[in-house]
């Protein structure tokens, strides 16, 4: 996929990672994935110029959280669209989430995830 839009997907649960990756790829996105915060930070540092969107779970086990990953991503690229996925941390979004992000509550329908990232990309209008 040479012209595909590259999205970084961060999810520590293998089955949820596969599911979200399938949803995004079926929606026409190219996906690079990370299973923990440390890997996500490394990918952001090395590939931020190619990455045009971030979809991250909030709770990623030990180390950096999804909140941390998104803040780092926005330090590198302030207009980067960010979608958070969570089953439990929705109430923390206002305080912890980056501005102009979207939170998708787990479990979610595939269309919810695609709509969230697509809407943010459209709002960014190519400024990513």
Q: What are the average pLDDT values for consecutive 10-residue runs of the chain, which has 128 residues?
A: 83 97 97 98 98 97 96 98 90 92 95 97 77
pLDDT score for 126: 61
- CATH assignment of the domain containing 18: 3.40.50.2300
What's phi and psi for 80, nearest 5 deg?
A: -60, 125
User: For the purposes of burial, counting CB atoms within 10 Å of the CB of 29, is it exposed (0-12), middle (13-18) or buried (19 or more)?
Assistant: buried
| Domain-located, residue 74 | yes
Q: How far, CA to CA in Å, does 7 sit from each of 28, 34, 89? A: 10, 11, 22
Contact of 31 with 25, CB cutoff 8 Å: yes
Q: How far, CA to CA in Å, does 105 sit from each of 43, 55, 95, 113? A: 25, 13, 16, 10
pTM of this structure: 0.94
pLDDT score for 1: 44
The C-alpha atoms of residue 61 and residue 49 are separated, in whole angstroms, by 27
Number of domains in the chain: 1
DSSP letter string, 80-123: --EEEEESS-GGGHHHHSPTT-EEEESS--HHHHHHHHHHHHHH
pLDDT score for 2: 55
For residue 22, the SS3 value is: helix
| Domain-located, residue 62 | yes
pLDDT score for 124: 86
pLDDT score for 91: 85
pLDDT score for 85: 96
The C-alpha atoms of residue 100 and residue 125 are separated, in whole angstroms, by 14
pLDDT score for 127: 56
pLDDT score for 53: 98
Domain extent at residue 110 = 5-123
């Amino acid at each position: 996929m040479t012209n595909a839009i590259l999205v970084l997907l961060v999810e520590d649960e293998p089955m949820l990672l596969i599911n979200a990756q399938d949803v995004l790829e079926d929606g026409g996105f190219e996906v690079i994935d990370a299973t923990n915060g440390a890997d996500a930070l490394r990918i952001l540092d090395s590939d931020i110029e190619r990455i045009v969107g971030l979809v991250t779970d909030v709770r990623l086990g030990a180390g950096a959280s999804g909140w941390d990953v998104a803040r780092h991503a926005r330090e590198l690229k302030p207009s980067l669209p960010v979608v958070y996925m969570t089953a439990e941390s929705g109430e923390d979004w206002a305080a912890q989430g980056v501005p102009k992000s979207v939170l998708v509550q787990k479990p979610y329908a595939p269309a919810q995830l695609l709509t969230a990232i697509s809407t943010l990309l459209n709002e960014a209008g190519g400024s990513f």
